[in-house]
């Protein structure tokens, strides 16, 4: 045990040697292990412990809680976007091409450092997205993408606050907080009930919006590999590869959630039209007027109830806007 602690102490000495001295003694910044422990606990809790505890329980009804939570997240994201923007990106003081880290104690610089620190904590509050899914027994929402995205972000941002709180990589925080303003606005409206569902047709475009964000981050980060800029190359790779990984994960989610569903709907409509044609052909060929028409109406009624026709498909599609959450 003592040997292990020696290695841990040595590891902390190496970190502190290269760390930004302004944030070294801030809460949660002295060591990466508390953040790592929280992230691992989150993964275990939402994938194993939580579903097991909820297995024989009814799902919680959390409408009001979700409204308050999403409102808080929307306001928190808006504040972070404002702070990161006014610390450099929206004032013209930061360059999109190359922005080294300013390690001075100027008020505007320290404003960015504090914004980075609070952005780090925002990654923990986002854990509640998943916890609410588990409490409502929507375990199908707790996908691998969802858990990876939320589970690794605090650890990733910790290194940024520890070593480079400011500069080029904060562009990711600027874009990410803006995306979250839009995202939590959608979740807030969705939590208010089915009356607003018809106006939330733009849900799938949130995923597209997030993928555009990752492409922008990739371009912005990897450009430093081809120009001379006083910014750590390790963090260029760190941010760029994170954006690349998330882009492919979100793209896979988009393909599975929307493109494949679209193909299945088109196939259902096509099959329904074929069956409708066959049914009409059989009905028109009957010679016994009373018996034939009665049988035809009964079969047609069964046919539409099953939802195989184009009309039923359209009806179900309309219903989905008011029944889906």
> 172: number of CA atoms within 13 Å, CB side?
31
Please write down the HEC assignment for all residues of 65-95: HHHHHHHHHHHHHHHHHHHHHHHHHCCCCCC
> In the structure, how many helices (H) and strands (E) does the chain have?
13, 0
**Rounded Cα distance, 153 and 161, in Å:** 12
The catalytically annotated residue of 12, 18, 146, 149 is 149
Which among 183, 176, 82 is positioned nearest to 120, based on CA atoms? Answer: 176
Q: Does the active-site annotation cover 277? A: no
Residue 266 CB neighbour total at 10 angstroms: 11
Query: Which residues touch 216 (CB under 8 Å, ≥6 apart)?
Result: 175
Which among 29, 16, 165, 21 is positioned nearest to 99, based on CA atoms? Answer: 165
Catalytic residues: 149
């Amino acid at each position: 045990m003592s040997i292990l602690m020696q290695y841990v102490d040595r590891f902390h000495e190496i970190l502190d040697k290269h760390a930004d001295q302004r944030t070294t003694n801030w809460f949660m910044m002295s060591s990466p292990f508390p953040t790592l422990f929280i992230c691992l606990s989150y993964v275990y809790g939402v994938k194993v412990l939580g579903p097991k505890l909820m297995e024989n329980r009814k799902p919680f009804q959390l409408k009001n809680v979700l409204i308050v939570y999403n409102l808080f997240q929307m306001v928190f994201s808006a504040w972070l976007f404002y702070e990161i923007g006014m610390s450099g990106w929206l004032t013209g003081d930061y360059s999109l091409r190359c922005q080294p880290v300013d390690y001075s104690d100027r008020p505007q610089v320290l404003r960015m450092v504090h914004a980075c620190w609070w952005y780090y904590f925002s990654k923990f509050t986002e854990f509640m997205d998943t916890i609410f899914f588990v409490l409502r027994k929507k375990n199908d929402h707790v996908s691998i993408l969802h858990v990876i995205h939320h589970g690794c972000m605090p650890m990733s941002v910790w290194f940024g606050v520890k070593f480079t709180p400011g500069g080029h990589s904060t562009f990711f925080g600027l874009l990410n907080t803006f995306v979250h303003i839009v995202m939590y606005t959608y979740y807030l409206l969705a939590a208010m009930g089915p009356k607003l569902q018809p106006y939330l047709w733009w849900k799938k475009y949130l995923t597209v919006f997030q993928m555009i964000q990752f492409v922008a981050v990739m371009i912005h980060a990897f450009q430093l590999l081809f120009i001379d800029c006083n910014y750590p190359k390790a963090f260029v790779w760190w941010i760029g590869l994170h954006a690349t990984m998330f882009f492919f994960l979100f793209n896979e989610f988009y393909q599975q959630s929307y493109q494949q569903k679209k193909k299945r709907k088109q196939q259902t409509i096509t099959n329904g039209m074929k069956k409708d044609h066959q049914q009409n052909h059989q009905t028109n060929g009957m010679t016994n007027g009373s018996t034939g028409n009665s049988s035809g109406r009964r079969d047609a009624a069964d046919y539409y109830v099953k939802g195989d026709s184009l009309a039923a498909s359209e009806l179900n599609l309309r219903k989905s806007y008011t029944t889906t959450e």
